């Protein structure tokens, strides 16, 4: 018997690129993307939203980089994010360079807004040197006026020409680490444009109906466009563009892929930090062991494995349960509240035990059973870690200094 995905049109073969740790295109699973709605300069608020998006199913998250403060925020966000971060750049080339200095995993450029050939080629050349991919993000609502005039408006051919022009600039500097989107708010226009793109390009395609609006109408429009193309084997990564909490975008994207048999359904939803400079435990090993143990129990919960107690419980407070590393300890938390402190060697066992109790008894009962001394012990560990490693364990200040210096050079060079 054929699997659900085998009943669909075979997926179009494309090149494969890497956005941080996430493979896009080729035989990689179709990925889900979303975008933060916070001010990127608000590091803690943005990270909290990123963790919520990751828990809801986002594989990649895009953040606006529209000002110097946003770029500086990215320098702090990138090393602490559980998923790759793409910087959204519209009008100013210096913001693309600043985002690259911040260490982002990808750029998204809108060719209708950033139009000067030499600026585009300069960004592509630096992205090539750094091994950072770029999405050519064509939108029907922001086409170059000359292209729109030549085609009589935003037609599928006009969207494709805009992408081809950008690709030509990239090729002049030998840059081909690219994915492409040709979005429109009209579902028929969007579908027609992507069908044409799938014939013209072998680059991975990022699907989306732009400015789809609030649910339920926005969900219907997004599903109509994205779903239609996925059934035809077109698309390597997707985003719902909703006027809503972006968590709804990530959740809808994951559910659509599961409904089409393009991603496996998972009862367990485990997120983990990237093991940054503040981590005190083997995050990767603990996350792998926890995932294996919890999946075997088929527990339908969100679990977070975090490298340090300084940031972990706060960043992942929307997870049902989690554990964060301290000085040779593990700090168990439920909905961001510390409930137990255990030896590092017992972290996975304690997490699994508490997760089973959480499912059986509920959140309120487990919070009521919390160790009264756990929060105070966690506070002491946080202070000790801050004293030992300082407030900038990821050396973000060095990146921020590089951002400021780069922006000064760019402005003086105008």
Quick one: what percent of the chain has pLDDT higher than 70? 98
Dist CA 122 CA 94 (whole Å): 10
* Predicted confidence (pLDDT) per residue in 122-134, tens digit: 999 999 999 999 9
**Region 87-107: what's the mean pLDDT?**
94
**Region 373-381: what's the mean pLDDT?**
88
CATH number belonging to domain 269-389:
3.30.413.10
C-alpha distances out from residue 193 to 25, 209, 403, Å:
19, 11, 37
Q: Where do the DSSP E strands lie in 20-151?
A: 22-25, 31-35, 60-64, 85-89, 106-109, 134-139
Q: Report pLDDT for 244.
A: 93
Task: Say whether 30 sits in a helix, a strand or coil.
Answer: coil
Name residue, tokens 């066992």. Answer: 349
Q: Report pLDDT for 393.
A: 75
**Region 314-337: what's the mean pLDDT?**
87
The residues with which 61 forms a beta bridge, in sequence order, are 34, 85
Q: Which helix (H) or strand (E) holds 391?
A: none
Task: Say whether 90 sits in a helix, a strand or coil.
Answer: coil
**Region 339-364: what's the mean pLDDT?**
92
Q: Report pLDDT for 328.
A: 81
Residues of the chain with CATH 3.20.20.20: 5-259
Q: Report pLDDT for 271.
A: 84
Count the Cβ atoms, other than its own, within 10 Å of residue 7.
Answer: 11
Task: Say whether 105 sits in a helix, a strand or coil.
Answer: coil
Does residue 400 contact residue 72 with C-beta atoms inside 8 Å? yes
* Predicted confidence (pLDDT) per residue in 191-214, tens digit: 999 999 999 999 999 999 999 999
pLDDT bin (cut points 50, 70, 90) of residue 92 is confident
Quick one: what percent of the chain has pLDDT higher than 90? 67
What is the pTM assigned to this prediction? 0.86
**In 3-state terms, the chain is what percent helix, strand and coil (to 5)?**
50, 20, 35
Residues of the chain with CATH 3.30.413.10: 269-389
Q: Report pLDDT for 248.
A: 95
* φ, ψ at 231 (rounded to 5°): -65, -20
Does residue 236 contact residue 25 with C-beta atoms inside 8 Å? yes
**Region 374-395: what's the mean pLDDT?**
83
CATH superfamily of the domain spanning 5-259: Dihydropteroate synthase-like (3.20.20.20)
Q: Report pLDDT for 326.
A: 77
Q: Is the confidence at residue 150, as pLDDT, over 90?
A: yes
């Amino acid at each position: 018997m054929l699997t659900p995905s085998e009943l669909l049109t075979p997926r179009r073969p494309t090149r494969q690129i890497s956005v941080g740790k996430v493979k896009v295109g080729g035989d990689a699973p179709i990925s889900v993307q979303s975008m933060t709605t916070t001010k990127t300069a608000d590091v803690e608020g943005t990270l909290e939203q990123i963790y919520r998006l990751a828990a809801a199913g986002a594989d990649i998250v895009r953040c606006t980089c529209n000002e110097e403060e946003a770029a500086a925020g990215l320098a702090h966000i990138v090393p602490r994010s559980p998923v790759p971060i793409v910087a959204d750049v519209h009008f100013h080339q210096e913001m693309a360079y600043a985002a690259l200095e911040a260490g982002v995993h990808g750029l998204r450029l809108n060719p209708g807004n950033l139009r000067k050939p030499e600026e585009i080629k300069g960004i592509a050349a630096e992205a090539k040197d750094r091994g950072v991919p770029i999405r050519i993000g064509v939108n029907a609502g922001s086409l170059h006026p000359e292209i729109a005039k030549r085609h009589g408006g935003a037609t599928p051919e006009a969207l494709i020409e805009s992408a081809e022009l950008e690709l030509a600039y990239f090729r002049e500097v030998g840059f081909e680490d690219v994915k492409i989107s040709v979005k429109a708010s009209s579902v028929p226009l969007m579908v027609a444009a992507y069908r044409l793109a799938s014939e013209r390009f072998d680059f991975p395609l990022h699907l989306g109906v732009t400015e789809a609006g609030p649910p339920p109408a926005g969900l219907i429009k997004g599903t109509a466009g994205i779903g239609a193309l996925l059934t035809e084997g077109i698309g390597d990564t997707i985003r719902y563009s909703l006027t809503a909490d972006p968590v709804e975008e990530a959740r809808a994207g994951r559910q659509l892929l599961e409904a089409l048999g393009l991603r496996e359904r998972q009862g367990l939803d485990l997120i983990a930090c990237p093991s940054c400079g503040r981590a005190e435990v083997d995050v990767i090993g603990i996350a792998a062991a926890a995932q294996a143990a919890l999946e075997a129990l088929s527990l339908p919960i969100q679990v977070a494995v975090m490298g340090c107690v300084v940031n972990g419980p706060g960043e992942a407070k929307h997870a049902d349960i989690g554990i964060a590393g301290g000085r040779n300890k593990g700090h168990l938390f439920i909905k961001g509240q510390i409930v137990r402190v255990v030896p590092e060697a017992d972290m996975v066992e304690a997490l699994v035990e508490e997760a089973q109790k959480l499912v059986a008894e509920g959140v309120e009962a487990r919070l009521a059973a919390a160790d009264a001394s756990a929060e105070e012990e966690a506070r002491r560990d946080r202070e000790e870690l801050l004293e030992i490693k300082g407030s900038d364990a990821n050396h973000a200040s060095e990146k921020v200094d590089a951002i400021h210096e780069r922006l000064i050079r760019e402005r003086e060079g105008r």
